[in-house]
Each structure stands twice: as structure tokens, then as C-alpha cells.
Structure 1
Amino acid sequence: MDATSALPGWLAPSLRGYRGTWLRADVVAGLAAGVVVVPQAMAYATIAGLPVAVGLYTCMVPVVLYALLGGSHTLSVSTTSTIAVLTASTLAASGGSAGGAADRAADDVLGAAFTLTALVGACLLAMRLFRLGSLVEQISPATLTGVKTGVGLTVAVAQLPTLLGLATPADDPGFLGALGDVVSALSTTHVLTAVVSAAAVGTLLVLRRVAPRVPGALVVVAASILLVALTDVEDRGLALIEPVPAGLPGVSLPVWDEVVRLLPGALAIAVMAFLETVLVARAQRQRSEPAIDSDRELLAVGVAALGGGLSQCLPPAGGFSQSAVNLGAGARTQVSGITTAALAVLVALFLAPVLSDLPAATLAALVLVAVVGLVSPAEFVRLYRIDRTELWVAAITTAIGLTAGLLPAVGAGVVLTLFLVLRAVSRSAVRPLHPAPDGGWTTNPPPDGEAAPPRLMLLHLDRTIYTGNARPTQDAVLAAALAADPPPRAVVLEGTAVERATVPLLDAVEGLDADLAREGIRLLLAAFPARVRRRATVSAWWAAAERDGRVLPTVGAAVAAAAPERAAEQATEETTGEATGEAPA
């Protein structure tokens, strides 16, 4: 019997049916991902204005918790540049970031940061409780493009003072202000620091292109530490990171006084963490693996964030780069994630003094190379070619991110997405229906198909009628009927796509019937699902329409029901033709 079969159904889904032959591949993949995750997470901690040790701790408890609950087999969880920037923005807004912490003690800053992580977990779990996963996934991809572009440019500029060793670092957290600070301080560039930065960036880019399987982050970190250990570059002004404390993280309880101020930022971070995690998980899923369940991911990332908040971590999320390394190295299950967490523990216990010799410029180089990939001009070109509206969403979100900050950008992106969704559902839900060449009916005009029956308008309802699209649909049907030349004697509404009998639907067809009747046009309803017809009979108008024979089971039956009127009309036209000597229509 498989040892994992005794586990509860909700626990460790990626380990179901685990085979011993997978262990070696999982361990190797976990180590390979770890050499990317650990230095990268430490670098992202500096984006958030927190000690590098916080990034190291983020590779421990959250990784294990996701491995036990998450549905993805190969997703590698730690934190991401987007999450780090949103964390910095949230802490700045509450007065708790490195940039805004002049009036606050370091312990207060850390307390606010860890409270934020726990709040992110609480928000994700609340979203899971109310099953909001599918709703959150409706956020436009253009919004994510805009946010990521804003993150990439903002973080890239923020790293320039460290990369160049400027005497006056950028004090303005915004993109434009930080860029101005950098330009004004260029004359103070520290040449040695700039050389080390250029070498690190160049190595990372070259290895990514010519040897993508080589862990570039590990190479530049190891080389930089050796440079400091074997030369006097520190004495010549090369700045090092803050000392990394040896040992494991302690327990950090939430600071309740910070909850109200941190909650809006926590909600934005929760949305982005969920979206990034699900996008990466779905991109990496193999055909043999179960589909990614958004509700399960909400639970897994929520518990991981809650545990991270109690163990001194940044908010966690699935990262693309380390997940790609994990998958490429042969990972089969989340045993690889547990291996990555074990590696982080070993680093914290035994290598912390060594990591303290790491130049700050090297971490900045890691960040710069990671975030530059977020800026994708090709994505804007793609939006331009496909959907100009989505392009505007991406452009507006980017502009807000670069001027007002990333939190307002996320909020604006969500609002714009809701606007687009509301605009889409508020459009008319009706399209013309045509006879198909091989029989039946279609919404696609057949090039050589049979013409529609004369003086009969056939229309298809695309979807259920709600408050938003009821009036536009009613107006569209009436306008089409009045614009027809000659005007129809009957309008047939085909409703196979209608899933529910709603009050707006019943009100719309009743109002439409009255509007058409004033024009001498008869309304027929055809092919509505049986469950819709049963529920609709509570409407007195619908029940009367059924008694009058105007609710038909098929479009063909509706066309036949309209036939007597067409026959009488044709007879009249023939009589008129005989009197005038013209051929009948």
C-alpha cells in the first residue's frame, strides 16, 4: 500500500502515489531551486527595506506549509519582487518602511512587517472562506502587465544608488523622484562599487543566455564573497550587507495597533500573491497532474502567509524563476520544496557569518536582473494589436504605479477591470439567428445558406439576462425590428443559452412584447431550457404567452407557428400583384 494513502485528503496532495524513485530528482531539484531562491529572497527583503535575514526566513516555514497544502507539484514558493515592492509601499504608507522609519524603532518596523504578512494570510483565508478565487482571477491580465511594469521600473531605479555606490541614496520612494535623486548624485559614483555591480549584472545575463542551467545567482554570490574575503575591497569602500544573524527565526506575534493601517495594503498584496501563485502553478502543470484549484491555492498560500507572519517572513507567493529552475531540474512533487526549506535552514544555521561578507551591490545586481524581466514592451505591442482597451488599462496602471505608487496602481487596475467586466455584461445579449446550410440554426451567417423566412426575424440570446444587460437587450431587439425593411410580422427569440429565469429576463420579454405589439409585431419565444420555462411560469405574462402558443420548444416550431401570418401576407401580396400586373414578392 502507498504510504501516502493514509494521509487526509486535504494534506499533501502532490505526494499522492509517491514513488521512491522520485526522491533523488526531487532532492536535486529542491537544491537547485534553493540556490536561486535563497539569495533572491534575501535581495527582495532589501526592496522591502527589511534585513536580508527576513528574506532567508521566508524560504522556511511558508515553503513547508505550501508543500503540505498546495495543489501544484512543482511550484517553488518564497516571495517575489512585486510582493516586496507592495510590502515596501504598505509599510511606507503606515510609517513603517525603511524610507519612512526615521521616527520609528527598528523593532517597530519589523513588527509592522510581520503583522502585514499575517494579515495577508488572513485576507487570503477570508477569500477562500467566501470562495472568491474565481472572482479574483477575473482581474485583467493588462492590469498585471501594468503593475509588473511599474514594479520593474520602480525597483530598477531604486537599486541604482546601491549599484553605483552613490554618496546620496535615493530618498524618494517614487519612480520619478528616485530617478531625479540618482541623476543629481551621479558625480558621487563609487568606481569600485560600479565595477563590481557591472561584473555581477554581466555574469548573470551571460549565464542566463549561454548556460541557463547554471545557477547564476549562486555563482555571483560565491564569487563576491570570495572577493571580499581574499582582497581589501571592503577597506576601499565596497559596502557589505548588514550582518546575517545565525540561527532560526523566532515567533513574532501580530501588533494589533497596526492592523487597521495595514489592512488595505494587505488586501492588495493578497490579491497579487494569489494571482502570481495561480498563474505560475497553471503554467507549470503537467498533463498528468490534477487541474489547479483556485480555492485550494487560496488556502495554501493563506496558511503559508499566516505561518510566515508568525515566523518573521515576507508575504509568500509562487515565483516564476525559481519554479522554472525547480521544474527544469526534474522536480516531481513538493518534496523539492521541503528540500529547499531544509537548505535555507542549513544556510541560517551554518553559513550566516559567510553571507555577512556579501557586497550590497551584488544583492542589488540580483534584484536588477530579476525585475528587468518584468518590463515587457512586447506585451504592450501584443495588447495594441489585439485590444486597444486592454492597452489603455495597462498604460494607465503603469502610469499610476510610476507616479502615485504601486498600491494605488493595484487599486486602479482592479477598478478598471470591474469597469470592463460591467461594460461587457451590460451589452446587448442578442444576435441574429440564421438557417444553417445542413439544417438547424446558427449565429454565423452562412455564405450560401438558406435565406431566413420572409417577414420573420430570428434572434439568439447569448446568455442569461440580468439587470445590467436587460435594457440594452430589449432596446436592441426593438431597434432591429423597427430597422428591418420590410418590417417583420413576428420576432422569434431563441433562448438555448439562457441558464436561469431571472426577474430582469421576465420583465424584459414582457416589456418587449408590449413594444412590438404597438408596431403590429408578434413576439415568439423558442427553445428555452425546460428548467427556465418551469420557473418562468410564475410570471403571469409568461403563463399567458404559453397558453397563447407563443412559447415553443424549438425554433422550427416557432417558425411554423408564424407561418399562418406569412401565408396570409403572401396571399395579399399575390392579390395585389394580379391587380397591378406585378410579380409577387
Structure 2
Amino acid sequence: MSTPASGPAALSWLAPTLRGYRREWIGPDIVAGLSAGAVVIPQAMAYATIANLPVQIGLYTCMVPMLVYALLGGSRAMSVSTTSTIATLSATTLLTAGVAADAENPIPDLMALTLIVGVILLLARLLKLGGLVEYISKPTILGVQIGVGATVAIGQLPKLLGENIEPSAEGFLRAILAAIRALPDANTATVLLSVGSVIALLVLKRFAPKVPGPLVLVAVGIALMAFSGLREAGVALIDPVPQGLPPFELPSFAHAAGLVPGAFAIAVMVFLESSAVARSIRRPGEPPIESNRELFAAGAVNAVGAFFQVLPAAGGFSQSAVNRAAGARSQLAALVTVAMAVIVALFLGPVLSLMPQAVLAALVFVAVAALIDVRGLVGLWRLNRSDFWVAAVTTAVGLTAGLLVAVAVGVIGTFVVVLRELNKVRLAVDEPRGGVLTVHLHGPLYTANALSYESAVLDAATAVPGLRVLVLDAAQQRALSVTVLDALRELDDELAGAGVELRLAAVPDGAAEVARRGDWFAGLEEQGRVFDSVEAAARD
């Protein structure tokens, strides 16, 4: 039985997925929260190592971000922590800004990065840019993800081989060289543990998808380190995990200027990943996902989380899919996951400290290898070559010049493709009748394409001998800028010089209202050359 919503209307934005909550949802939400936690907690800890940060940073990222999203977000089942893409971009940003991986304390700079990401997202919400960010194409995201997958997968090889070589956040080629250099000195026990871990994850994913593979692997790895001779055989442990909750601290802005470019790239990917996940797991009948609400939630998640030592956070597909599959009906499931992470942080630090580095590296390797979507590239090649080249160039740039540059190139490439499509002249020309030619504009005129349309219409008029009247169907012209009006006036002058009368037909009311403020369009109406329909304008 539904519980009616209560409270002042001013708080209608708070916890939208918990309004009208039903008692029968409690069981599924608890099961879903525990299931998602079994995946996201070890996974987030592994992702922290991508950014060269202590594993507890990943654990903290399963607390505050999830809690804030549960209070503000509109997706019923999305689970918010960090992702492999976001963690990799964070590592690259910190390195580019001059925050070395071996710095005495990189955490304050990480907090500054997360805060800047949150502020950028909140400013974007203030400017209502939710829809604009979504114009960034799927090929761009695919290219960035392939670059992330390949770079991070190769970067994990030294850990999988048992070599204490710092994972590279500097690009694909350097990571390959580091892995090759590590081969002669590989630790046999570590290699066997790594291979076994990767195989176990793949087998569980293929034949037992409901089993939380990451949790099983972590438990087995800890048990092996505790009760076998792996440590004596040279298998390395992760750094000790402190017990307790993340302390409230203030960020350091010593490297803020260097963090801003990367923060923009991370903010774009945070919103794109979160939006994609939220829409993909939404059930029919659930409230639609509102871009600007999600933009605000993503900004608040990172702005608040920044003060509690978290990585930039976004909706993660794998844990969200587990959450949904386990029956999550609201963000109460996320609150259960938060409680699970708190218990782990308070009581299981010494146990987690027995985790082998190779196990975490195997978790990362399998997770990011799934991002190398060759089938997706092949599909783009078959469907749309322009989209394929956007993805391919973005990937190539990511593997050579770095992931931050790849995001910038991909975004620019997307807008180039969009502008090229907008600039295409789309018009249809009817058969001339009695010296009257009708031209239908099938695309809107705006500043960049107005002259191209003017030239195309003049060419159509020139091709008809004895033309007396040209009717321009402007039904698609929802707005008339100064540049467009100037182009139409010039078209009128050119046609008049050739003895052809220009008539405008079906101009939308909003565009006509703006155009009347100018002398040319007002004069056109006075002369009776603006008509409500094409049929009326074409009458001789």
C-alpha cells in the first residue's frame, strides 16, 4: 500500500525515489543493496589503485556520493561511486597538474579535483546545460572508453607480474614499455595468482553471473594470503587499510590551475556516464530521467563528497545493473550499500590489509578489458563512417597523446560532425507552373548556413527560364536571426534584379513576430508578399 507523500512542496526535490514508498519494496531493496555492495565495494577499492591512491579512497567513494545521490537523484536503481574511466581520467589529471604519484599526501589535491568537478557540474545545471552535454556522441564516448580500457589494462601488467613498477597514467606506449621491462623479473607465485584470478572472474561472469565475482575473488585472495605461503613466495600486499570513516577535511588548491582542464573532461564524462546508466536501467512506467535534475545531483555528489576524500563519482554500469537485476525499487538499495561500506570501513580494515595487489589488479584488468569494444567499432564502420572515424581518432589520440586530449578531440569532433550536418543544404524544388517556382526549405537557416541556402535558391531560380515568381516555403524556419534576415533580403534583391518576385510562405508566428521588427520583412508584408500557406503564395 502506497504511503502518501508529505512535507512542504518546497522539499519536493528531496529523495524523489522514496516518495510513495511501498512496504513490499523493502525486501527487494535490501537484497539489491547487499548484492550491489558485494560488487561495488571491492571494485571501487580496485579503481582507486588506477589513480595511484590508497584503496580506502575507493571505499570512501561508496559512502558519501551514494548517500547524496539517494537524496537528490531521479534514477531508482543507479548506484553511484567511481568508474574505471573516471578513475583513469583522475590519475591523468593529477599527474598532468604536477601531483606526483609518490607525493607525500596527494589526497588534498584529489579533494580539490573532485570539488572542481562538482562546481563545474553545478554551474552547468545553473545554466541549464543538461541537454547540451548530451549532444556529445556515443562514438566519442566509445573512443574514450577504448583508450581507457587499453591504457589501464596494460598498466596493470606490472602488478599482475609481481613487479613493483608504478602503473603508468602517462599513456599506452609507456605502459607497454613498463610491462615489457618487467617480464624477466616476474614473480612466479604472483603470476599464477593473477592468471587464476582473471580466469575465475571470467568464468563466474560467464557461467554464474549472479554470483558477486569481485567479492568472491577478494575473499579467496585474503584467505590465501592468511593461510598459505604466498607472502613468503613474494606476493605483495596492498598498503594497510585504516579503520574508520572518512574524516571531514579541506582540499588543497596548490595545483588548482592545473586541475581545471582535466576537471572539465571528468565532469563531461561523469554526466554522460551517469545519464547513460540511468536511462539504460529505467523500467517502463518509472518517472523519466530529467537531464537537469541528474546534472544537479551529479554536481552535488561531487561537491559534497570532495570534503570526505572521495574520487570523482558517477553512475557505474556494473553495480547499477546488479542493483536492478536484484530487484531494486528505490534508492533505499543505495543506502543499504552505504551501510555495508560503513561496516567494512569500521571493522574490516585489518582483514582488507591482507589483500594481494595481484587480486586488485586482476579486478581492474577484467573490468577495463570489457571497455575495449572492438565490436562497437566494427558496427560504426558498417553504419556510419563519420561516427567510426570520430571513435577511431579519439581512441588513437587517447593511446598516444593522453586521455584528456582524447576527450577534447572527441568533443570537438562531435561538434564538427553536428555542424557539418546542420550546414547541409536541404531543399526541394517543385516543377515550375506558369512562371511560378516553389522551393521548400527542409532545414532551418541559421548564421552558418544562410549564405549556402541563398546560393542554392538562386541556382534553382536561374535554372528556370521565364521565371516570374519564386515561392519560398519557410515552415521550418522557427527563428530568424539578423544574419538570416540579411541573407533573405539579399536573395530578394538578387531575384528582383532578374525580374523575379520573392514570396514567403508559412512563416511560423514566432519567427514572423521577430522579423517584423525589421524594415525589410515589414515592407514585404505591406506589399502582400507574405502568405499563410504555400498554396496561397503560388496562386498567380
Greater Cα shift, 166-175 or 50-59: 166-175
For structure 2, the 5+ residue unaligned runs are none
**Structure 2 vs 1, CA of residues 17 and 499 (structure 1 numbering), >3 Å: closer, same or farther?**
same
Match of 2:374 among 352, 377, 384: 377
Q: Which residue of 2 aligns with 1:6?
A: 7
Match of 1:260 among 234, 257, 275: 257
Residue 489 (1) aligns with residue 468 (2): yes
What is the CA-CA distance between 1:505 and the residue it aligns to?
2.5
**Structure 2 vs 1, CA of residues 333 and 191 (structure 1 numbering), >3 Å: closer, same or farther?**
same
Match of 1:192 among 189, 194, 199: 189
Greater Cα shift, 46-55 or 415-424: 415-424
1:172/1:181 contact within 8 Å kept: no
1:397/1:412 contact within 8 Å kept: yes
Higher-RCO chain (CA-CA 8 Å, sequence separation at least 6): 2
Q: Which residue of 2 aligns with 1:306?
A: 303
What is the CA-CA distance between 1:170 and the residue it aligns to?
5.3
Residue 31 (1) aligns with residue 27 (2): no
Q: Which residue of 1 aligns with 2:532?
A: 553
TM-score (norm 1): 0.89
What is the CA-CA distance between 1:538 and the residue it aligns to?
2.4
Match of 1:462 among 442, 445, 454: 442
For structure 1, the 5+ residue unaligned runs are 435-450, 564-585
What is the CA-CA distance between 1:16 and the residue it aligns to?
1.5
1:462/1:498 contact within 8 Å kept: no
User: What amino acid is aligned across from residue 40 of structure 1 in structure 2?
Assistant: Q
What is the CA-CA distance between 1:126 and the residue it aligns to?
1.0
CA distance in 2, matches of 1:487, 1:332: 70
What is the CA-CA distance between 1:137 and the residue it aligns to?
1.1
Aligned to 2:78, the other structure's residue is in SS state: coil
**Structure 2 vs 1, CA of residues 349 and 378 (structure 1 numbering), >3 Å: closer, same or farther?**
same
Q: Which residue of 2 aligns with 1:432?
A: 428
Structure 1 residues 11-410: aligned runs within 5 Å? 11-98=14-101, 101=102, 104-105=103-104, 107=105, 109-166=106-163, 168=165, 173-410=170-407
2:92/2:169 contact within 8 Å kept: no
In the TM superposition, what whole-angstrom CA distance separates every residue of 1:291-347 from its partner, at most 9, and x where no partner exists?
Answer: 111111111111111121100110110000000000000000000011111100011
CA distance in 2, matches of 1:287, 1:93: 43
CA distance in 1, matches of 2:167, 2:306: 29
CA distance in 1, matches of 2:344, 2:151: 30
CA distance in 1, matches of 2:511, 2:236: 71
User: What amino acid is aligned across from residue 5 of structure 1 in structure 2?
Assistant: S
Aligned to 1:6, the other structure's residue is in SS state: coil
**Structure 2 vs 1, CA of residues 92 and 487 (structure 1 numbering), >3 Å: closer, same or farther?**
farther
2:50/2:167 contact within 8 Å kept: no
What is the CA-CA distance between 1:171 and the residue it aligns to?
5.3
CA distance in 1, matches of 2:536, 2:115: 61
1:134/1:294 contact within 8 Å kept: yes
What is the CA-CA distance between 1:464 and the residue it aligns to?
3.8
User: What amino acid is aligned across from residue 461 of structure 1 in structure 2?
Assistant: L
2:98/2:258 contact within 8 Å kept: no
Aligned to 1:5, the other structure's residue is in SS state: coil
Aligned to 2:136, the other structure's residue is in SS state: coil
User: What amino acid is aligned across from residue 14 of structure 1 in structure 2?
Assistant: T
Aligned to 1:491, the other structure's residue is in SS state: strand
In the TM superposition, what whole-angstrom CA distance separates every residue of 1:418-447 from its partner, at most 9, and x where no partner exists?
Answer: 22233333333x41155xxxxxxxxxxxxx
Q: Which residue of 2 aligns with 1:445?
A: none
What is the CA-CA distance between 1:253 and the residue it aligns to?
0.4
1:111/1:255 contact within 8 Å kept: yes
CA distance in 1, matches of 2:373, 2:469: 53
CA distance in 2, matches of 1:226, 1:50: 24
In the TM superposition, what whole-angstrom CA distance separates every residue of 1:361-410 from its partner, at most 9, and x where no partner exists?
Answer: 11111111111111111111121122212211111111111111111111
What is the CA-CA distance between 1:172 and the residue it aligns to?
7.0
1:175/1:403 contact within 8 Å kept: yes
CA distance in 2, matches of 1:317, 1:328: 19
1:48/1:97 contact within 8 Å kept: no
> If you compute each CA radius of gyration, which structure gives the higher value, 1 or 2?
1
TM-score (norm 2): 0.96
Aligned to 2:502, the other structure's residue is in SS state: strand
**Structure 2 vs 1, CA of residues 259 and 170 (structure 1 numbering), >3 Å: closer, same or farther?**
closer
User: What amino acid is aligned across from residue 28 of structure 2 in structure 1?
Assistant: A
CA distance in 1, matches of 2:472, 2:535: 12
1:88/1:97 contact within 8 Å kept: no
**Structure 2 vs 1, CA of residues 172 and 56 (structure 1 numbering), >3 Å: closer, same or farther?**
closer
2:31/2:326 contact within 8 Å kept: yes
What is the CA-CA distance between 1:500 and the residue it aligns to?
1.9
Greater Cα shift, 451-460 or 187-196: 451-460
Match of 1:513 among 476, 479, 492: 492
Equivalenced residue count is 537
